[in-house]
Structure 1
Amino acid sequence: MSNTQSTRPTASRRRRPVKGLVTGQQREKPEPKAPETWAQRLKQYVPSAVAPLAVLALATGVTCFAVILLSDWGMKYLPAAIGQSWLTLHGVPLRIDGVELSLVPLLPAVGIVALVASRIRAATKTRVSVLDLGAIFVLVTVTSLVLSVVSLFMVADASHVFAIAPPHPAAAILMPLGLHLAGFALGISPVVWRVIAKRSGIPPETVITAGAALRVMRDLVLAAAVVYLVLLALNYRHIAEAVGAYPNLGWSGGLALTLLCLGYLPNAAVATLAVLLGGTFEYAGATVSLFDATSVALPPLPIFAAVPASAPVWVPALMLIPVAVVLRFALTRSFSLIDVAATATWAAVLGLVVASYASGTAGAYGHVGPNPWAFAVLMFLWTALPGLIAWLVSLVRARSAGEDSGQDSGKDGQV
């Protein structure tokens, strides 16, 4: 009996620690094998590069189908609705019954850029090679071109039956592609961009200044959006008057009008920024600035309720808002003269692109929004001048510090 008990293994000897269950230890997951061929790269990055655009196209088709079904329209409208909706969501002008509307809501375009950027960022958060980025670029470009060409064909085919006209092929293809490539560029980490620039022989400051220009543009647009919302709230009576222009609106019409106004919020923020920077907002042949305003009939949308009939005396003080934004930007960075020029140039390019998407023609009202070229010049000046001042201040401080250190060394050398 005692011999049997002595040969029986104890509990501590029977139990073996299991990896992953012991405190302080975790089961290590094997790293996925890096793709080695182009076929492997394309296959690996299809879910990140193609899926967002494919899902967006599918959602567009389903939404158009549901609207046509609920509205009791014929299914013959479906191809034209899908194609036109895809193009309009990407800022492409549309022409219905001879009326051109190139001032389309910018909010869907912003959402598309954010969607593509988030998926690209998720796909490139681990270590990626230049060839991997090339594969993602090819997938995004090809998918964008295919979907835009198909949409253009749908609209062109329907134009023989319905009172719609296809947009210019260059606009129908390049404007969606520009948004998708913007999402691709924003989705890649700045660290990766600096590595690419270094390998390509491009100064890393090019990437750094581009990021700085993007941040100052973001801060200015957000500040302008806040100003616009405050002005809209102060003119709530004009909102009621605009809504009253639709006597038979109903709940469905009210919902559509609300969604339309929300879609135009980024356009309103960019237009407000143009005015705050000293530029103008154009509509129906009239202009609005911090110093003057022309009273004309506005489009019947509540979003235009923030446009004043005349410029009050205190309005020029609103220019202090962008002044505070750019001064904060300049004082939190150290600039060289080349950095100032590069950042201002990038800001001008971004301003030109953003204003081009945020403005356009609206039928009989003509051009509505800021002038893109004037907006680009304003962005250049408002970025360059504070940066130049910050550079001069740092230069003077460096020289005074050098003179003080030289005087101190001279005193130390005296006997």
Structure 2
Amino acid sequence: MAVAGSLVLGYVGAVVLLAVVSGTAAADRFSLAGILLGAIPAWLAAYHVPLGLPGGQLGVLPLLPTALLMALVAGTSLGAATQLRLRRPGQAWPVVAAMAGAHAVVGCVLSLVTSGGPVRTPPAVAFFGCAAVAGAAATLGIARRCGLARAVRGWLDPVTARGIRAGVLAITALLGVGAAALAVGLTISWPTTSALFGAAGAGVGGAFGMWLLCLGYLPNAVVAATSFVVGSGMSVGQVSVGPVEFTGGPLPSVPLFAALPEQSSWWLPLVLVLPGAVGVLVGWACRLVAARPAARVRAVLVAGLTAAVGCLVLAALAGGALANGPFDPVRVPAGLFAVLTLGWIALPGAVVAWFAAPPAPVARPANAAATATADTVATELDGAETASVDSAPDPAADPAPAPGGDPVADADADVVGAEADDTEADSAEAGGAEAGGAEAGGAEAGGAEAEGAGAGGAGTDGVGTGVAVPDQAVETAGAGEDSGETRGPAGDGLGQPGTGPDAAGRSDRP
């Protein structure tokens, strides 16, 4: 549906344009059949297909209808891709092939229809010409949606991609300079321009037809003016006009040619400053591409090549044959135009890109708050470790009591034994006292054991603080075993109290 829409709209546009021109002409005798047949060559001319006339070939065709037709095909292709929800690059080719194939077939058929008329077109030329224009327009229309542009950028390194962007900028700037030069030329020679419009014919129809002709060829004139500014100039038949070369002669009575200088002048070479300024602009735009000067220069060279290729294509499309007449051919020297464009972009742009280094990155200050926080945490950890080590008990300074019981209890037992020799009553009394003393000693021993458990928990804080009991405690325990002392197992290093004398601590009795 999108393919048919682009074909129908393009042909209808050609019919409407031809009807308007015929209706405003002085001789208003025309027929619908004549307009429909006459719109076929106009439709083919919009695809930039050369037209064969009885006197020769018409190859210099207006670029504005071609641009409008490409915009139409691109828009319909984008609409089709959006409706079909196409997103991947592989899904773009069916749309492009359908557009190119349909336009090629229709162009070939229309060329066969007009083969017997005064305006003829070879079917093969119509087939490939329509296919090329429609395919290029469809590709441009869906390049972004289907990811074609992203895929191309993925194949290129960043420097080359930036260089291509700078090349597009260069083409735009050069065309802008050419358009400005054309406007200045038409303004300076406005009396000649208005006189040519008046000589186009009697009435409004003649002036309107000439205005449409100038509007259609306006992009061609901009390309020719750009070639003049760059230095390659242009030629119309035997007339050649350029900043450093000038050959005068008669020109067609078209108002656009009034912008050309009538004679050579000393100030014409001054326009060469303009493409040099564009080269400086490109070099300045490429100064941030990379840190290395060689990479920046490479980006400028890529930009120059891109601009040169673009100017080559535009120059080839802007000129052509003019039916073997006195003004044949209208030529924009494409090769010289491309070479000079490359030189004007590459030379000054490379110098600017080499010396205009990117600004040095400003050193960002260290995060003082983060540094202070890290120092505070480290200090607190060191303090906690030191406090844990200091709080651990020193077994050497607080030795465990010798085995063998409590000395006070032993003394009480001796006294009771001595009294038992005297009388049995005293022995029984002493035995009762000894039993009471043993009970008291057991209670005191239980308190001492609880006190030792608290000390052992503080000395083996392996879980709470991550600090183990110093090796000195282990060595002291080993020394006690060598001296014949009987000890129980020490703490298990996990915060649990031991069961031996080392863990129980010492009971200080008076």
Residue 228 (structure 1) shift: 0.2
Which residues of structure 1 form unaligned runs of 5+? 1-45, 406-415
Corresponding residue to 1:274 among 188, 204, 227: 227
Tell me, yes or no, if the aligned pair for 1:225 and 1:272 is still in contact at 8 Å.
yes
Tell me, yes or no, if the aligned pair for 1:280 and 1:370 is still in contact at 8 Å.
yes
Bigger mean CA offset, 377-386 vs 274-283: 377-386
RMSD (Å) for aligned C-alpha atoms = 3.1
Tell me, yes or no, if the aligned pair for 2:41 and 2:119 is still in contact at 8 Å.
no
Corresponding residue to 2:313 among 347, 353, 364: 353
Is residue 302 of structure 1 aligned with residue 259 of structure 2? no
Which residues of structure 2 form unaligned runs of 5+? 290-294, 364-510
Alignment partner, residue 451 of structure 2: none
Alignment partner, residue 368 of structure 2: none
Bigger mean CA offset, 258-267 vs 381-390: 381-390
> Once the two structures are aligned, what percentage of the paired residues are identical?
24
Tell me, yes or no, if the aligned pair for 1:197 and 1:207 is still in contact at 8 Å.
no
Alignment partner, residue 225 of structure 1: 179
Corresponding residue to 1:216 among 158, 161, 170: 170
Corresponding residue to 1:134 among 81, 93, 101: 93
Rg larger in structure:
2
> 1:384 is aligned with what amino acid?
A
Tell me, yes or no, if the aligned pair for 1:197 and 1:204 is still in contact at 8 Å.
no
Is residue 373 of structure 1 aligned with residue 373 of structure 2? no
Tell me, yes or no, if the aligned pair for 1:82 and 1:151 is still in contact at 8 Å.
no
Tell me, yes or no, if the aligned pair for 2:89 and 2:147 is still in contact at 8 Å.
no
Tell me, yes or no, if the aligned pair for 1:68 and 1:75 is still in contact at 8 Å.
no
Is residue 84 of structure 1 aligned with residue 61 of structure 2? no
Tell me, yes or no, if the aligned pair for 1:291 and 1:316 is still in contact at 8 Å.
yes
Following superposition of structure 1 onto structure 2, how do residues 8-407 of structure 1 map, counting pairs within 5 Å?
46-47=1-2, 51-64=5-18, 71-78=28-35, 80-120=37-77, 128-156=87-115, 160=116, 162-166=117-121, 168-187=122-141, 188-189=143-144, 192-197=147-152, 201=155, 203=157, 208-246=162-200, 248-334=201-287, 335=289, 336=295, 337-363=297-323, 364=325, 365-393=327-355, 397=357
| C-alpha distance 379-144 of structure 1, shift in aligned 2 (>3 A) | farther
Aligned partner of residue 303 in structure 1, secondary structure = helix
Residue 257 (structure 1) shift: 0.6
Residue 170 (structure 1) shift: 4.6
Distance in structure 1 (CA, Å) of the matches to 2:163 and 2:88? 23
The one of the two structures with greater contact order (alpha-carbon pairs below 8 A, sep at least 6) is 1
Tell me, yes or no, if the aligned pair for 1:348 and 1:379 is still in contact at 8 Å.
yes
Residue 145 (structure 1) shift: 1.1
> 1:197 is aligned with what amino acid?
V
Distance in structure 2 (CA, Å) of the matches to 1:94 and 1:68? 20
> 2:267 is aligned with what amino acid?
W
Distance in structure 2 (CA, Å) of the matches to 1:117 and 1:205? 29
Deviations 1:265-321 (CA, angstroms, capped at 9, x unpaired): 111111111011111211112210112322211001111111111122222222222
TM-score normalised by the chain length of structure 1: 0.73
Deviations 1:209-241 (CA, angstroms, capped at 9, x unpaired): 444322321221122112101110110121133
Distance in structure 1 (CA, Å) of the matches to 2:21 and 2:347? 51
Tell me, yes or no, if the aligned pair for 2:47 and 2:130 is still in contact at 8 Å.
yes
TM-score normalised by the chain length of structure 2: 0.61
| C-alpha distance 384-171 of structure 1, shift in aligned 2 (>3 A) | farther
Number of aligned positions between the proteins: 347
